[in-house]
Amino acid sequence: MVILIIFIGLCLTTTLFVCELQKAEAIINFEQKTVSTYDTSNRINNLSKLEFILLIILCVVQIYKILSFSFVVGVCVLVVEIYKRSKNECFISPLDLFDVKQEKKMEVYCKMGCYLYLFFYYIYQVCIFFSRKIK
């Protein structure tokens, strides 16, 4: 059961990282003027919805077998997302994209670092799990 939860967490963390990578790509394409503001804001908004759902699933999975570090990190990121949703800051209109571009870029890079850290934490947990099974 433990390895299943770790594997699910690993998959969810990888998916969240790819989601943030797609957001970063959308912002970079917008800065290079290869896509319109409408396309960029629509892509970021759709990815934000997906990210929110995946974060909820990640936190629910961690409740069954609390890996304290990953649970705390997941809950912290989820609380930030809930706070942004309560203030309607999570959805970007095409006109606001020029104003929040730099802020959104920093947020995406911070979340990417967080998800990458979680990814390696899950890899570490898998190594510990299998090293105990071998002994």
Please write the tens of the pLDDT for every residue from 51-78: 989 988 888 887 776 667 777 777 888 8
> What residue segments make up the domains of the chain, in order of their start?
2-134
| C-alpha closest to that of 108 among 40, 20, 5, 45 | 20
Distance CA 43, CA 67 (A): 32
Question: What integer pLDDT is reported at residue 74 of this predicted model?
Answer: 78
Q: What's the token pair of residue 125?
A: 């947990």
Q: 14: pLDDT confidence band, cut at 50, 70 and 90?
A: very high
Distance CA 69, CA 99 (A): 34
| Ordered DSSP codes for 5-30 | HHHHHHHHHHHHHHHHHHHHHHHHHH
Q: Quick one: average pLDDT of 79-98? A: 79
Q: Which of 8-22, 64-78, 106-120 has the lowest mean pLDDT?
A: 64-78
Question: What integer pLDDT is reported at residue 73 of this predicted model?
Answer: 78
